[in-house]
A = this chain, B = another copy of it.
Amino acid sequence: MTTQNHAETVTAAVLVIGDEILSGRTKDKNIGYIADHLTAIGIQLAEVRIVPDIEDEIVTAVNLLRARYTYVFTTGGIGPTHDDITADCIAKAFGATIDVDPRALALMQPYYEKRGLELTPARLRMARLPEGSELVANSVSIAPGFMMGNVVVMAGVPNIMQVMLDAVTPRLKTGRKMLSETIELFRPEGEIADMFGAHQKDFPDVSMGSYPFVKDQKTFGTNLVLRSTDPDKLAAATTGLRAKLQATGKL
């Protein structure tokens, strides 16, 4: 047994908030980025939801997901306009009050002053944070994200979301890293499916998936992906699978 096995499994959900994603007008670029990031640091993304800009939907989803997973990461709805209702929804979900936060204001005031921009009521909205939340720095455009309990609230604009995710990462508890090995086969998955299924039964602690691909619109193949938090079991399952594929001339 390696030390890694003693570590806890840490889970997360992503909650994307935005009518513009559901209408198709904007294509989400955050889910895949957050998924990669969480996998890399040892947090297992277990569920994603995309909900519209409707208070009840957001509050319900936040409360359900924060009870179920170690962390919830939200994107979207923290800008200055009337359709940005995420901070209020988080406050409501936690039964907390919300008001202009002096820490957020202290960051935003000199930033806007320096640029000769007025701190309009709309911009002030971005300084409103639920009581008890911690700021998450925004090195792109100052107005911060925040962390309330186990919920990390980030902007929807990808480059801002990314710096917020980096900023909050040192504060997150991480667990066993999900490790993976990929075997790329230039065979249709139907050819190896029976053997692959039997191999999965031999290694119940290693999760195995088969993903067909098309390259350059003409080369077809299958990626066999093996995943485990245990490096020894992963290596054994991968070596065993390679041997079986080579023995049957598939690899």
What is A's interface to B at a CB cutoff of 8 Å?
A: 16, 19-28, 31-39, 44-53, 57, 79-84, 117, 120-123, 125, 157, 159, 178, 180, 182, 188-191, 193-194, 196-197, 200, 207-212, 214, 225, 227
A194 smallest CB distance to B (angstroms): 5
Contact B194 A121 (CB under 8 A): yes
Q: What separation, in Å, do the CA atoms of A193 and B22 have in the docked complex? A: 22
Residue in B20, B23, B51, B120 whose CB lies within 8 Å of A194: B120
A48-B49 contact given A28-B32, A81-B189, CB 8 Å threshold: yes
Could you list some 26 contacts between A and B, CB below 8 A? Answer: A20-B209, A20-B225, A21-B31, A21-B32, A21-B35, A22-B35, A22-B47, A23-B35, A23-B45, A23-B178, A24-B36, A24-B37, A25-B225, A27-B32, A47-B51, A47-B52, A48-B48, A48-B50, A80-B193, A81-B210, A82-B196, A82-B208, A83-B208, A117-B188, A122-B189, A125-B193
Sort A-B residue pairs by CB-CB distance and give the 7 closest, nearest first. Answer: A122-B193, A24-B35, A82-B197, A24-B36, A48-B50, A81-B210, A27-B32
A15 smallest CB distance to B (angstroms): 10
Contact B159 A214 (CB under 8 A): yes
Q: What separation, in Å, do the CA atoms of A52 and B69 have in the docked complex? A: 14
Number of copies: 2
Q: Which residues of B contact A157 (CB under 8 A)?
A: 212, 214
Q: What separation, in Å, do the CA atoms of A58 and B18 have in the docked complex? A: 23
A36 nearest CB neighbor, chain B only: B24
Q: Which residues of B contact A189 (CB under 8 A)?
A: 79-81, 122
Q: Which residues of B contact A44 (CB under 8 A)?
A: 22
Q: Which residues of B contact A123 (CB under 8 A)?
A: 190, 193
Interface centre among A19, A21, A51 (most CB of B within 10 A): A19
A228 smallest CB distance to B (angstroms): 12
A25 nearest CB neighbor, chain B only: B225
Contact B81 A25 (CB under 8 A): no
Q: What separation, in Å, do the CA atoms of A215 and B50 have in the docked complex? A: 25
A211-B80 contact given A48-B49, A197-B122, A225-B20, CB 8 Å threshold: no
Contact A23 B39 (CB under 8 A): yes
Interface centre among A80, A157, A178, A180 (most CB of B within 10 A): A80
